Amino acid sequence: MIKRINLENILFLDIETVPQHQYYDELDDTTKSLWDLKSKYQRKDEISAEEFYDRAGIWAEFGKIVCISVGYFVLKGDARNFRVTSFHGDEVKILKDFKNLLDTHFNKPNHLLCAHNGKEFDFPYIARRMIINGIEIPYKLDLFGKKPWEVPHLDTLELWKFGDYKTFTSLKLMTHVLGISSPKDDIDGSQVGSVYYEEKDIDRIIVYCEKDTIAVAQIFLRLRNEEILTKDEILSV
């Protein structure tokens, strides 16, 4: 079924998120209380809410987006290219630029968004941060009233499950078993917050985010039983 999809109709993406503030003490009392309550089921009894705050970026209510990387195929005859670019900087600008891309270039009925675990994380996270920041949700992220088969989202994790909903396969594991270069050769998601706040190295985060986006496209190709991209076919724009 996925072999019928035109690769040029898919926008592959990945996001990187961090806590809204560097330190727990920067939160107001109400937010601290809400964070304590939200995180209590994930952290062990011996871990305080303050100690757990470095993981706040995984929740849209307590985190923010610092990078969205996107990639798309350009096919001309036998030539195949994959172009990747990133939105970064102020979160509002990131979200508005991404929305503009969807509204102007990926707004047709046959256009699809694809991410690894995107249905559980990337897509809803972007939508929630848009609402929080007063940005109208683009059609491709607005699921209200849509039937399941009308949702324009692909998820490489879901495709890999083949109906088995009791398991989670990380992007790193999938690339490994499918013979794809690991995107986690420098940092992983747990380190993004420290790279952002302590090292202030957004370029390092961008490179990491783009590698993840490329990895999602490579996985999708393997799921179609097609040759993965070579370095010469990948272009950063």
Give the model's pLDDT for residue 107. Answer: 94
Give the model's pLDDT for residue 186. Answer: 72
Please state the rounded mean pLDDT for residues 178-194.
83
Please state the rounded mean pLDDT for residues 32-44.
91
Give the model's pLDDT for residue 45. Answer: 74
Give the model's pLDDT for residue 42. Answer: 86
Task: Name the residue with tokens 């490179």.
Answer: 207
Strands 10-19 and 63-76: antiparallel
pTM here? 0.95
pLDDT over threshold 90, residue 8: yes
Instruction: Give 120's pLDDT tier (boundaries 50, 70, 90).
Output: very high
Give the model's pLDDT for residue 192. Answer: 94
C-alpha distances out from residue 149 to 31, 126, 143, 154, Å: 38, 21, 11, 11
Give the model's pLDDT for residue 109. Answer: 93
Which among 147, 157, 172 is positioned nearest to 123, based on CA atoms?
Answer: 157
Instruction: Give 165's pLDDT tier (boundaries 50, 70, 90).
Output: confident
pLDDT over threshold 80, residue 154: yes
